[in-house]
A and B are shown apart, each in its own frame.
Chain A
């Protein structure tokens, strides 16, 4: 008997069907995932689109050569705060089912627990944290990108990463009801985001979402950038509470 025949006979002893958990129903989630996207065009059309993109790119670059125009565009795109991008997806029409969102995840589900020193060693920076909340229940490092660190205070979490990592926090409001308000935080431009369920991720420099950071949330968030760090307080009950905490992070 050859190895392959022997291997086949042996592997036939494994009850394959019993090895697998039930197959989840993917139909709805895939269809909602493709609801806002289009299939890529075939090669012939890609050339035409590439040419059109080049023309638009030149026009956009010309526009961005003016600081005033640049700021206006950045603000429109949700880029007024370094390291953050906010998008508001169209509110679903009556009777239309909003796309499925990923689960709401707690820090232990998002990263690996670390001591403060270990988290600093991994991330390459010391977190800026408020004093009045006491010691966090835990620090969590997201190893898919070691720059991202979370301090977990239970109801409140603080997310930080260095701006020079080229990471971008991304928040997409998909169910409607999200309110994004410009808010000066410790003298820096910032956002206060409340209401509505949102898809939250951090994307790397090439715009690819870091899988471990993908989740949904309804928590309020105060977002700003200071001293080379992206800073986000999540879970404060009100903007006043969030600003009070932020004031201790100057």
Chain B
């Protein structure tokens, strides 16, 4: 079996016209791209569209990509921007509906991920994360859910690494504040045991 090619080799091949090399990059990063988009949109169809469009845009823009930089954060930056645009567009639509006193559609179904969280403690924790402002949530997702290093997060959100550090720290403070006010059972030494 041929050894797996490095990202940089695949990108060089794509630039010289080998589309199948891009297919290898898709196979390598489709899970992280889909998951990043899903964490933001919470809709599998929308996440698939954002991930797919992200790959296509990445292909089109590969000439702008700096070959000495890692590919994954660059791709995720494109995908997360597309996912955030989708969410903002959805939110603008809802805002417009509200402004004209439009009859709201039936209440949204409970978030599907809540059904897979085994314990009440996990559900509360997830709900607390969901209450954080968008920019805090995004760095938390990237750091703890997708396990990206801070350096890569910096590329994804287009900020300096120091900003990532301070944003992670701030999100920790905010998460604790949300938990203290709405889910005190999650605080150390409180409520149910971990299961």
How many of A's residues come within 8 Å of B, CB to CB?
Answer: 48
Q: Is the CB–CB distance between B145 and A24 below 8 Å? A: no
- Pick from A11, A24, A211: contact of B125, CB under 8 Å: A11
With A4-B168, A33-B52, A39-B63: A21-B44 Cβ-Cβ less than 8 Å: yes
A108's closest neighbor in chain B, by CB?
A: B105
C-alpha spacing A33/B118, complex, angstroms: 39
With A21-B44, A39-B59, A39-B62: A27-B23 Cβ-Cβ less than 8 Å: yes
Q: Is the CB–CB distance between A211 and B60 below 8 Å? A: no
B56's closest neighbor in chain A, by CB?
A: A33
Map CB proximity to B onto A9-40 as digits: 1 under 8 Å, 0 otherwise: 01111111011110111110111011101111
- Pick from B113, B121, B188, B194: contact of A19, CB under 8 Å: B113
CB of A144 within 8 Å of the partner chain: yes
C-alpha spacing A10/B186, complex, angstroms: 9
Given the complex, which residues of A lie within 8 Å of B92, measured CB to CB? 143
Given the complex, which residues of B lie within 8 Å of A35, measured CB to CB? 19
Given the complex, which residues of B lie within 8 Å of A30, measured CB to CB? 22-23, 26, 52, 55-56, 59
Q: Is the CB–CB distance between A211 and B15 below 8 Å? A: no
Q: Which residues in A have some Cβ–Cβ distance to B below 8 Å?
A: 1-4, 6-8, 10-16, 18-21, 23-27, 29-31, 33-35, 37-43, 45-46, 112-114, 118, 121-122, 143-144, 146, 211
Residue in B97, B112, B186 whose Cβ sees the most chain A Cβ within 10 Å: B97
Residue in B30, B112, B140 whose Cβ sees the most chain A Cβ within 10 Å: B30
CB of B172 within 8 Å of the partner chain: yes
B27's closest neighbor in chain A, by CB?
A: A27
Given the complex, which residues of B lie within 8 Å of A15, measured CB to CB? 116-118, 122
Residue in A3, A18, A144 whose Cβ sees the most chain B Cβ within 10 Å: A3
Q: Which residues in B have some Cβ–Cβ distance to A below 8 Å?
A: 14-15, 19, 22-23, 26-27, 30-31, 33-35, 38-39, 44, 48-49, 51-52, 55-56, 59-64, 86, 89, 92-93, 96-97, 100, 102, 105, 112-113, 116-118, 121-122, 125-126, 129, 140, 144-145, 168-169, 171-173, 175-176, 186, 188, 194
Given the complex, which residues of A lie within 8 Å of B19, measured CB to CB? 31, 34-35
The B interface, classified by DSSP as helix, strand, loop or mixed, is: helix
Q: Is the CB–CB distance between B35 and A20 below 8 Å? A: yes
Q: Is the CB–CB distance between B118 and A39 below 8 Å? A: no
With A16-B145, A19-B113: A27-B31 Cβ-Cβ less than 8 Å: no
A10's closest neighbor in chain B, by CB?
A: B125
Q: Is the CB–CB distance between A14 and B56 below 8 Å? A: no
Given the complex, which residues of A lie within 8 Å of B125, measured CB to CB? 10-11, 13-14
